Structure 1
């Protein structure tokens, strides 16, 4: 068992984090897209996957934790979208799902057991290559300094690590305020990146 799988299995064994609510920035960016194929990296208990599937997307959810994926499958069954979702367990620093997708979503891929090099590999090589021509890569992350993860990369740093070629367009590069449930206002980074080309 890899370090990431061991950590996230322990994380979900100790708590349930299901709210049933999809990521607000994903909703903002994807609500008006025509349903097609999507890949959700680090899907947890599946709220984003289920929301996309409810709109007609065919979605693959990836997480390191088998416990989280089991709960996600149960929630998908309750929502009646089982026929439009699939679940795969991956330590994304070691393995990655096959195929290309019209939407690849990577939300809050911050991990105490994965360093910057691993995250850069996941986003800059694996996630980028999974986007079909004409498709979108959405990268959403906390901004600033996180109490558990320390200083987090800026959008400029993420873009530098991605090393996008001429076949990519940066459609959005934003720092967005979000209400926090505990105190104050938090900040999230958003990158909306379009791979050029025609869909087959």
Structure 2
């Protein structure tokens, strides 16, 4: 499937939803970031913007990206209406083709972010996810964190209901990035459970696969 297919599909998904006025942040983000000094953050796959807005309220400067122009435009408008427009920059990217620039104005490989977060960056469309996350790790400053949260179980509302689907463990995801352990270290790799609420308001117990990687040196 082409990039245009992905853009059209995700634009349609977000356009069909009511405009979110107070999207909630993901619990794995808040528990990881609370207590860290604010800096420059990058969110990959921002969607409705709950994580981005929460970070901005904590004093972070956030670059938020999504393949959907609808999601990006809505987040930009919402951030401005909440008085957070000076802390939020929302951009449309197909991460398989383009990557946002670091705060210094150079490509992400130069290491300009203190936090990169990717929650549920799963898609039925072609995406070399390992390459994207590897680039995200290179986008960190020394001391910065890459937070990757994946589905560890299939919720009743998941688009993929294949009973044989494999949910890679956090360690498998880390192994796939093939990062030099002299530069990057795993701070967290576990599979906590929580009660989640689906788009229709129903709840279910789900498993998250949580990976936190810290860049130790330049």
TM-score (norm 1): 0.91
Instruction: Give the match for residue 108 of structure 2.
Output: none
Is 2:205 aligned against 1:185? yes
Pick the aligned partner of 1:96 from 85, 94, 99.
99
Aligned-partner Cα distance in 2 for 1:42–1:17: 17
Instruction: Give the match for residue 62 of structure 1.
Output: 65
How many residue pairs get matched?
Answer: 195
Give the conservation status (yes or no) of the 8 Å contact 1:145–1:151: no
How far apart are 1:73 and its partner, in Å? 1.3
How far apart are 1:17 and its partner, in Å? 7.0
Give the 3-state SS of the residue equivalent to 2:42 in structure 1: strand
Instruction: Give the match for residue 71 of structure 1.
Output: 74
1:138-153 equivalences in 2 (<5 Å): 138-145=147-154, 147-149=158-160, 150-153=165-168
Structure 1 gap ranges (5+): none
How far apart are 1:197 and its partner, in Å? 2.5
Query: What is the alpha-carbon root mean square deviation over aligned residues?
Result: 1.7
Pick the aligned partner of 1:120 from 117, 127, 130.
130
Pick the aligned partner of 1:159 from 174, 188, 199.
174
Aligned-partner Cα distance in 1 for 2:145–2:203: 33
Is 2:20 aligned against 1:2? no
For residues 154 and 46 of structure 1, do their structure 2 counterparts lie closer, same or farther at Cα, with a shift above 3 Å needed?
A: same
How far apart are 1:183 and its partner, in Å? 4.1
Is 2:85 aligned against 1:82? yes
- Relative to its length, the structure with more helix (as a share) is 1
How far apart are 1:131 and its partner, in Å? 1.1
Aligned-partner Cα distance in 2 for 1:30–1:17: 26
Aligned-partner Cα distance in 1 for 2:169–2:6: 23
Instruction: Give the match for residue 173 of structure 1.
Output: 189
Aligned-partner Cα distance in 1 for 2:176–2:114: 22
TM-score (norm 2): 0.83
How far apart are 1:4 and its partner, in Å? 2.1
Give the 3-state SS of the residue equivalent to 1:186 in structure 2: strand
Instruction: Give the match for residue 41 of structure 1.
Output: 44
For residues 20 and 144 of structure 1, do their structure 2 counterparts lie closer, same or farther at Cα, with a shift above 3 Å needed?
A: closer
Instruction: Give the match for residue 217 of structure 2.
Output: 197
How far apart are 1:155 and its partner, in Å? 1.1
Is 2:143 aligned against 1:134? yes
Aligned-partner Cα distance in 2 for 1:180–1:36: 29
Aligned-partner Cα distance in 2 for 1:194–1:81: 27
Structure 2 gap ranges (5+): 103-111
